[in-house]
Structure 1
Amino acid sequence: MDQQADRVRSTKHVLRKKTINTILDQFDGELMKLSQSSRRKKYDKMRMDSYSFFRGSAYLFFYDVIDLPFAFHTPTDRPTWIMGDMHADNFSGFQNEDHHIVFDVDDFDEGYLGSYLYDVLRMVVSIRLMTAQHEWMPEEQDAFVEEYLKAYVKQLKRFEEGDEDPVSLEFSVENTKGPIKKTLKKLEERKHSHELDKQTIVDHDSIRSFDIGKEKLSSVSKQERNDLASAWKDYIKSLDPTTKQHERFYRIKDVVKKKGSGIGSTGLERYYILIEGEHSGDHQDDIILEAKEARTPIPAYFFSYDDQFWEDNKHQGRRVIHTQRAMHHKADPYLGYFSFRGRDFYVRERSPFSKELKDKHWTSHKDVKRTVRTMAKISAKSHARADADIDEGIMDYHSEGAILDAIGSEKKLFRHQLVLWSRHYQKIVERDYQLFREWLVEKEYFKS
């Protein structure tokens, strides 16, 4: 009987490891065309813990869940913009267009049109994995997920009833508590020159440039810089005309390549670009922009193909900023896009006011509850803001009605099923993480 059980368990592991192998080779190899060196860097980050593995394998998540018969999906004819990779580390504090320090979602690389539920499913699993890292018991993890789901539905209801407006609602020092409030307060104390002081130097001729001595910055060739300068005209054309400055404002003063990145972004090209800003003698108004390569979003490989979507979003950089404008209450005035050396890029400000939560913020029960509750409200705001018919920031209707219709009167059942499912999928991720580590040794990415 023990041999039979071992054979069954071994077969399941072999089949799942083959699935992981196939998906990693298809996405990181065939589609992303990551070099062996880039794959090693990515997998080195993913092997840190099960949460890091989850963050770096969104394609495995969608492969697993895309055809599961969840009861609470919105209908296909009423999609909303989704982040496509919503997890606890994709929320942070930053300064918005009105110069308000706020806490919000901050990553739209996988933005796509579809059911809100995929964002929620990915988020609740991330809450479990994040809190498990900090040794919270499964029952406490259940409570944190329940807290998130309650706050999410409640916030959608507030929007539907007109108590709050998803377009104008923002989360600042005034209406947040705990770690988020503390993070925002620290941001408010920062100098405007924080990022310039961190990334640049001023020479004896008072010329500011990037500090190549920094570990994660590297120089670009003259030809690369010239090619980027030629493409920069398209970026300027792509800017929102209501916030666009005069052309000299965007004059490039220096360019470097940014090395290192998030887990899922490994292998994507990234540049820091120093621009003129409002010209002054002390160069304190120089601005650092980040140009990041954008590729086909992961959900696109699993959702039904939509001709109209791809007609509207041929440029992947435009798709990313389209998603951000849809899901944010205030857009970065530097959002734009261009193509360069056969790749699509989007541009945003490398803001001096940007800060993420720290590990220590997940160690107090009260703090975790406050944090997931605020993240739930932000998730609801982002989905209510987003709309299938949005065109450059103009909405025709809000999406919260479609989501509340999908949940219906079964709010308790909605929470109960997602708590149970998140517990189930957490175990799958933790098992996959161990199989992934075995696979890395077998493929000789790393020694045992």
Structure 2
Amino acid sequence: MKNSLFNQNDRDIYQLIQAFDNQRDRDILPRKYAKMRKNAFAFFRGTCHLFYRDLPVDSILNLAPVTWICGDLHLENFGAYKGDDRQIYFGINDFDEGVLAPCAWDIARLLTSIFLAVDSLLFTQSDAHTLAQIYLNSYTKALNAGRIREIVEDNARGMVADLLEDLHRRKRSAFLDERTELVDEHRQLKFDGEKIMEISKDRDRQVRQAISNWAKTQVNPDFFDVLDVGFRVAGTGSLGLDRYLILVAGKGSPDRNYLLDFKQQSISSLQPYLTIVQPEWENQATRVMRVQSLVRSAPPALLAAIEFNGGSYLLRELQPTQDKIELKPGKISLAELAQLIDTMGEVTAFAHLHGSGKSGAAIAQALIDFGGNVDWQQEVIIYANNYASQVQIDYQYFCQATQDL
């Protein structure tokens, strides 16, 4: 395989990042860059576009069967969510970059994240190789079986089982209390200036009107009566995009209100590097919504694509059951992480299989055959390990370039 590592003199990492973020909110970008300076893994999460820019055109990874992929698969893009059938699932939870592409692209990005994350989790590179092999073994085993199953409380293991059990017991009122406060028996958002920020009266009015117009097309428009709106600061790679937290009436005040996430969707960062023809989406929010429906048995609750402010936005429920397993040093053992990554391998395979044969994706048999082929597996581990080293170099240059921000 062609080596993907670049001479640092051939490119200016900070300039590439700035060019990618050119249309983002300039007031929010310093927060994004501060998050990216935390460690190389955080930097990796905020630079999906660099990963695909660097992927060699003659890579064996490009020969893998084409299916619907997450595009930004890494260890922290898995979590629990409530489906539109109200069942709680564990799966991939971010499809902002989702496209039709070789399935190995997801695998390579996930494995790279393992090699980067072990440092911050205080494990060794030897551990990383073991974990990478566990993920690959789990992924290929699930592909070879050719059967799709969702991860739910009844079949989950280890930390995933604990997470789903804990979330099942959580109360909506407690979730609302974290982000809202009661004023005269009615809730309003807690504006902390960090995660939830106040917006102008004009923008408040515009958001309310957009939701109201869309709600008129729904079976129960009163459910979406807007009680309060704030600017939401969340994520890493998506920081700088327009995003709102919306409190709606739901099933009644004060403890049966709902919180909605209303997020601007931009073109996938994979798009410039795709040779596979993509469907002609109505807009980017429709793309993200559709990819989720292609790879999941039950898409997240209250998912909708809405035109707003000259762009397309994805509306979804911000759920008390939407949570991740914390990957913090000292909070997870190597054995626990191994079991978690084993589950992630299964989840990835199920998603790829679920999308097979749909809207241009390869049929399931092609994925099954791919899972049984060992030729590419060592190649992808070598690539991920080498690219993690490149990310470490890029991260150091980025920190130097932004140290005065």
**Partner residue, 2:395:** 433
Matches for 1:26-425 after TM superposition, within 5 Å: 26-29=19-22, 32-35=23-26, 37-70=27-60, 73-74=63-64, 79-159=66-146, 164=147, 166=148, 169-204=149-184, 206-213=185-192, 215-233=194-212, 235-236=214-215, 245-258=219-232, 260-278=233-251, 280=252, 282-304=253-275, 306=277, 309=279, 311=280, 313-358=281-326, 359-360=328-329, 363-387=332-356, 389-390=358-359, 399-407=363-371, 409-411=372-374, 413-425=375-387
Contact 1:129/1:426 (8 A) holds in 2: yes
Partner-residue secondary structure (3-state), 1:114: strand
Change (3 A) 1:397 1:316: closer
The 1:387–1:341 alpha-carbon spacing in structure 2 relative to 1, beyond 3 Å, is same
8 A Cα contact 1:113 1:388, kept in partner: no
Deviation at 1:231, TM superposition (A): 2.0
Q: How big is each residue's C-alpha offset from its partner over 1:35-60, in whole Å with a ceiling of 9 and x where there is no partner?
A: 2x433222211111110111111111
Q: Within 2, Cα distance between the matches of 1:21 and 1:365?
A: 34
Deviations 1:50-98 (A, max 9, x none): 10111111111001115142156335xxx32211100000001233233
Q: Distance in 2 between matches of 1:153 and 1:216?
A: 39
In the alignment, is the contact (CA less than 8 A) between 1:66 and 1:302 conserved in 2?
Answer: no
How many Å apart are 1:235 and its aligned residue?
Answer: 3.5
| Cα-to-partner distance string for 1:94-113 (whole Å, 9 max, x where unaligned) | 33233333211111111111
Q: Which amino acid aligns with 1:403?
A: L
Measured after TM superposition, the shift of residue 316 of structure 1 is: 1.2
Superposed displacement of residue 397, structure 1: 8.1
- SS of residue paired to 1:173: coil
Question: Are the structure 2 counterparts of residues 284 and 53 from structure 1 closer, same or farther at C-alpha, using a change threshold of 3 Å?
Answer: same
Q: How far did residue 387 of structure 1 move? A: 4.3
**Alignment CA distance shift 1:72-1:213 (3 Å):** closer
Amino acid aligned to 1:410: N
* Structure 1 residue 337 displacement after superposition: 1.6
The worse-fitting range, judged by mean Cα deviation, of 378-387 and 128-137 is 128-137
Which residue of 2 is the match for residue 20 of structure 1? 13
Q: CA deviation at 1:34?
A: 4.3
Q: How many residue pairs align between the two structures? A: 399
Superposed CA RMSD: 2.4
Q: How many angstroms apart in 1 are the aligned matches of 2:203 and 2:137?
A: 50
How far apart in 2 are the matches of 1:356 and 1:372? 13
Q: 1:23 to 1:107 in 2, by over 3 A?
A: same
Tell me the equivalent position of 2:3. Answer: none
TM-superposed CA distance for 1:33, in Å, is: 4.0
- Contact 1:234 1:338 (8 Å CA) reproduced: no
Tell me how far 1:116 sits from its aligned partner. 1.0
Assess if the C-alpha contact under 8 Å between 1:82 and 1:113 holds in 2. Answer: yes
Cα distance in structure 2, aligned partners of 1:34 and 1:230: 22
Contact 1:200-1:208 at 8 Å conserved across structures: yes
After alignment, is 427-436 or 244-253 more displaced?
244-253
Q: Secondary structure at the match of 1:121?
A: helix
* Deviation at residue 323 of structure 1 after TM alignment: 1.4
For residues 330 and 77 of structure 2, the distance between their equivalents in structure 1, rounded to whole angstroms, comes to 15
CA contact (8 A) 1:81 1:388 kept: no
TM-score calculated relative to the size of structure 2 = 0.90
- Tell whether the 8 Å contact from 1:385 to 1:399 is kept in structure 2 after alignment: no
Q: Percent of counterpart pairs with the same letter?
A: 25
Helix, strand or coil: the match of 1:272? strand
Residue type matched to 2:348 in 1?
Answer: S
The structure where helix makes up a greater share of residues is 1
* Structure 1: tracts of 5 or more residues without a match: 1-10, 239-243, 391-395
Q: Is the 8 A contact 2:248 2:258 kept in 1?
A: yes
Q: Deviations over 1:270-323 (max 9, x none)?
A: 111122223x4x5322111110111011001211373x62x2x13111111111
Partner Cα distance (1:44, 1:212) in 2: 21
| TM-score when normalising by structure 1 | 0.82
Displacement of 1:367 in angstroms is 1.0
Amino acid at match of 2:243: R
SS in 2 for 1:355: coil
Change (3 A) 1:217 1:146: same
Name the CA shift for 1:117/1:410 in 2 (closer, same or farther; >3 Å).
Answer: same
Deviates more, 1:343-352 or 1:39-48: 39-48
- Residue 335 of structure 1 deviates from its aligned partner by 0.3
Code of the residue aligned with 1:340 in structure 2: it is: F
Mapped contact 1:131–1:362 kept (Cα < 8 A): no
- The one-letter code sitting in structure 2 at the alignment partner of 1:20 is I
Compared CA separation, residues 341 and 196, structure 1 to 2 (3 A): same
